[in-house]
Amino acid sequence: MNLASPRSLFLLAFIGCVAMMGAALYLEHVVGLAPCPLCIVQRICVIGFGLVCLIAALHGPASVGRRVYAALALFFAVAGGATASRQIWLQSVPADELPSCLPSLEYMMEALPFQEIARLVLHGTAECAEVSWTLLGMSIPEWSLLAFIVMALFCGWQLLRRD
């Protein structure tokens, strides 16, 4: 098996996403960190990126297909990076200037239209600004942003490579 083939690289990217989700679930269920709304959006982006990579790995695309999969995966990487950047920014805002916490997702689903729910979730709240865990001096959204940058670079490389 050629380790530089698109199939192998997309499989490796999928395995990376599985590892990221494993770490997120460990932090949630073992360490006890509850994900905020922006964290959940970032998880959705990791899952979307991973699913695109899994489908690409199973398909084993040629040149055009590789670029299509890379463009789809890039969408999730950019969306996740933007969300992580927003959360990092919220962490730098003084506590008295942060928006208040949101009602539960169940309540919002019953009472609000989808567009309003999306706007509120993506805007972020004081809950999203809390730094409750760090590794090597970086918070979870900072690690997420780093991962999304690597994902975007991977997609850019898959889009531009010739073979």
Task: Give pLDDT tens digits along the chain (163 positions).
Answer: 565 788 888 999 999 999 999 999 998 899 888 888 888 889 999 999 999 999 999 987 788 888 999 999 999 999 999 999 988 888 777 766 656 666 666 667 777 777 776 676 666 655 666 767 666 888 888 999 999 999 999 999 988 887 7
Question: What is the per-residue pLDDT for 161?
Answer: 82
Question: What is the per-residue pLDDT for 46?
Answer: 96
Question: What is the per-residue pLDDT for 146?
Answer: 95
Domain ranges of the chain: 6-160
Report which of 140, 122, 123 is spatially closest to residue 131, judged by C-alpha positions: 140
Q: How many residues does the chain have?
A: 163
Residue 19 in contact with residue 121, Cβ under 8 Å? Answer: no
Question: What is the per-residue pLDDT for 64?
Answer: 87
For 6-160, CATH gives: 1.20.1550.10
Work out whether strand 138-139 and strand 134-135 pair parallel, antiparallel, or are unpaired: antiparallel
Question: What is the per-residue pLDDT for 123?
Answer: 63
pTM of the predicted protein model: 0.80
Q: Which single residue is written with the structure tokens 């942003």?
A: 145
Residue 72 in contact with residue 52, Cβ under 8 Å? Answer: yes
